[in-house]
Amino acid sequence: MRKRIALGSILPSVLLALGGCASDDDFPDSHDALPEPGADVVEDVPVESPETEAADVPFDADGADDAVDEGSTGCPPLTIEEIDLILAEAADRPMAIVTNDNLEGDVFLHGYSLCVDLLDPTIWHLVSRMRRTLARSFGGVGLAAPQVGVHRRILLAQRTDQVGRPIQAFLNPWIVDYSAETTTMTEGCLSVPGESPSVERSLEVSIDYDMEDGTPVTGERVGGAAGSQAAYAARIVQHEHDHLEGILIVDPR
Give the per-residue pLDDT at 131.
96
Instruction: Give CATH for domain 5-244.
Output: 3.90.45.10
> Nearest CA to 144 among 154, 158, 131?
154
Is 245 a residue of the active site?
Answer: no
| CA–CA distance, 85 with 100 (Å, rounded to integer) | 20
pLDDT digits 0-9 by tens, 221-246 = 999 999 999 999 999 999 999 999 99
Chain mean position to CA 202: 19
**Which is more confident, 223 or 6?**
223
Q: What is the pTM of this model?
A: 0.74
| CA–CA distance, 65 with 80 (Å, rounded to integer) | 14
Whole-angstrom Cα Rg for the chain: 17
Identify how many contiguous H helices and E strands the chain contains and give both numbers: 5, 11
Catalytic residue, from 187, 195, 240, 245: name it: 240
The sign of the CA dihedral 208, 142, 59, 212 is negative
Question: What's 152's DSSP letter?
Answer: B
- Per cent of the chain over pLDDT 70 is 71
Residues 125 and 91 sit within 8 Å (Cβ to Cβ): yes
Give the per-residue pLDDT at 5.
37
Region 16-30: what's the mean pLDDT? 33
